[in-house]
Amino acid sequence: MPSFPSARLAVLASAVASFTLVAGCQSNRPATPAASSAALPTMERVALGANGCWFKSGDPAFKAYRLAPELNSFSGRPRILIVPRKSPEARPLAVIQAEGHPARLQAFGPLLSEPVGARMTTDVRRWAAGDKGCS
């Protein structure tokens, strides 16, 4: 395992602790079939929202990044990765994943401690709850 400078490890640990999302933040609206609370449908909604609102929209905050969905997970943890646009094989800058029923969401990575991180967290929570709009 590569060694991390202690400052970077602290930032990553802080991001994991600070940005752990809980599926309990669902809206008060009645559940619809499109708002299934299992991990895969939740992450499908998140991936569609992220792709449409962050990447296909040409949002300048995400211009340097690329979406790498990994929804077909045999581990039971479908996820999406945000990677550098010009180096998609590089270490992910953000990972958003879910597991269980109801889905328990987690988001972590250095991008979440950047200014765009709070917006990402808010958007992911909305999409996980069934909202399809962009902020």
Task: Report the pLDDT averaged over residues 1-24.
Answer: 40
% of the chain exceeding 70 in pLDDT: 74
In this prediction, residue 4 has a pLDDT band, given cuts at 50, 70 and 90, of: very low
Residue 100, sorted as left (phi over 0), alpha (psi -120 to 50) or beta, turns out to be left
Q: Where are the domains positioned within the chain? A: 35-128
pTM of the model: 0.73
pLDDT digits over 53-93, tens only?
A: 999 999 999 999 999 999 997 788 999 999 999 999 999 99
Give the whole-angstrom CA distance, residue 8 versus residue 93.
13
pLDDT digits over 16-31, tens only?
A: 333 344 333 444 444 4
Residue 131, sorted as left (phi over 0), alpha (psi -120 to 50) or beta, turns out to be beta
